[in-house]
Amino acid sequence: MTGLGRLGRLVVIGVPFLWLALFFLLPLLIVVKISLAESTIGIPPYTPLFVNDGSGLKLHATLANFALIAGDDLYLRAYLGSLGNAAVATALCLLVGYPVAYAIARSQGVRRQLLLFLIMLPFWTSFLIRVYAWIAILEPNGLLNQALIALGLIATPLPLLNNLFSVQLGLVYSYLPFMILPLYGSLSGLDQSLIEAAADLGARPLQTFLGVTLPLTLPGIAAGCLLVLIPAIGEFVIPDLLGGPDTLMIGKVLWDEFFNNRDWPVAAAVAVVLVAALALPLLAAQRFLERGHTA
């Protein structure tokens, strides 16, 4: 490959680069542009940013959309609600995922391959349908409530659906594999002799775990947490299908702003604030994922 000429190099790097610049980076800039426009009735439903009024191009930008977001506490609650829900879901994924990843990393041969395959398999099945499957389980007269009543544990159905509980459950359920895979990568690369050395030197299992295993798998923990946290903050399907009136999340607010209110500039402003909030975690994610590649 190193012998590939300048032209080959240009094609290999340039074509996908250009594609991503056109269809990922440029659109982000356009979102910023539209967030400064005013909403109008028409096609497209926003005002142009530059207006030619005869005496040359005039910049016609407004911060009204951002003022609206800052002024209405609906948006603030939605941002904080998303962050809170995503953070709790990330912590729960870590708590559930770490032992699972540990068990896979310690298993051998075919068994290990099979377990890994089972973790990957949900990636290949429909996300929408997996979320939807929970509705039938959590409904007031759904499977879980019926089972609990049949067992005599409760007398009346518990409210399990359309609340914070169901949203959290959906988030953990959907994003768990994204936590387990990087954790597994980190744990399987762990030098077993370090753990044996710690044990030989008299460390108790808990001490070994806290002093050796946990610090050495921190990159995997960080990568997993970011892979869960960032997409979970902007999640739409889960709060829409499993959420209720008290589970405000910003992904759903953006969706409603766009599809129901048809206010594109406000939707764009909501997106700009969200991207700005996610910029730091995104850059951190890139660092950890890049490191995973070179390791």
Partner 1 sequence: MLGFGFLYAPIVLLVLYSFNASRLVTVWAGFSTRWYGALFHDEAFGATALTSLEVAAMAATLSLVLGTLAGLGMARFGRFPGRPLYGFALLAPLVVPEVILGLSLLLLFVACQSWFGWPGRGMLTITVAHATFGACFVSVLVRAQLAGFDRALEEAALDLGARPWTVLTRITLPGISPALISGWLLAFTLSLDDLVIASFVTGPSATTLPMAVFSSVRLGVSPEVNALATLFLCVVFLLVAFAGWLMARAERRRVT
x/- map, 258-277, partner 1, by CB under 8 A: xx----x--xx--x--xx--
List the interface residues with partner 1, window 122-141 (CB under 8 A).
122-130, 132-137, 139, 141
Number of residues that bind partner 1 (CB under 8 A): 89
DSSP-based three-state secondary structure for 235:
coil
- Nearest approach in angstroms of CB 32 to partner 1 is 9
DSSP 38: P
For residue 40, state whether it binds partner 1 (rule: CB under 8 A). Answer: no
Alpha helix segments (H runs only) across 189-263:
192-200, 205-208, 214-216, 218-233, 237-242, 250-259
Q: Choose, by CB under 8 A, the member of 219, 234, 239, 243 that binds partner 1.
A: 234
Q: Does 241 bind partner 1 (CB under 8 A)?
A: yes
Q: Which helix (H) or strand (E) holds 283?
A: helix 264-294
Task: Report the half-sphere exposure of 3 (CA within 13 A, side-chain side).
Answer: 0
Question: Among the candidate windows 2-10, 51-59, 199-207, 213-221, which touches partner 1 by CB under 8 A?
Answer: 2-10
285 binds partner 1 (CB under 8 A): yes
State which of positions 49-78 bind partner 1 (CB under 8 A). none
Q: Which of 173, 213, 221, 224 binds partner 1 (CB under 8 A)?
A: 173
Using the minimum distance from each CB to partner 1, give the nearer residue, 86 or 212: 86
The neighbouring-strand residues paired with 77 are none
Q: How far apart are CA 186 and CA 195, in angstroms?
A: 14
69, 78, 176, 222: which one contacts partner 1 (CB under 8 A)?
176
Using CB atoms within 10 A of its CB, is residue 166 exposed (0-12), middle (13-18) or buried (19+)?
buried
Residue corresponding to tokens 């002093």: 211
CA distance 102 to 91: 17
State the minimum distance, in angstroms, from the CB of residue 231 to partner 1: 5
The distance of closest approach from Cβ of residue 122 to partner 1 in the complex, given in angstroms and rounded to an integer, is 6
Stretch of 26-34, 62-70, 197-205, 211-219 contacting partner 1, by CB under 8 A: 26-34
Kindly state whether residue 121 participates in binding partner 1, applying the rule CB under 8 A: yes
Pick the binder of partner 1 from 187, 233, 238, 248 (CB under 8 A): 233
Query: What is the C-alpha separation between 274 and 131, in angstroms, rounded?
Result: 24
Distances in Å between the alpha carbon of 117 and those of 15, 114, 228? 33, 5, 20
**8 Å CB contact between 267 and 258:** yes
Closer residue to partner 1, CB minimum distance, 28 or 197: 28
Triad 210, 168, 243: Cα angle to 5°: 170
Closest CA to 242 of 91, 119, 126, 137: 137
Asked if 30 touches partner 1 (CB under 8 A), the answer is yes
Taking the least distance from each CB to partner 1, the nearer of 22 and 210 is: 22
Q: Where are the beta strands (DSSP E) in the chain?
A: 50-52, 57-59
109 binds partner 1 (CB under 8 A): no
Decide if residue 197 touches partner 1 (CB under 8 A): no
Q: Per CB under 8 A, does 91 bind partner 1?
A: no
- C-beta of 102 vs 217, nearer to partner 1: 102
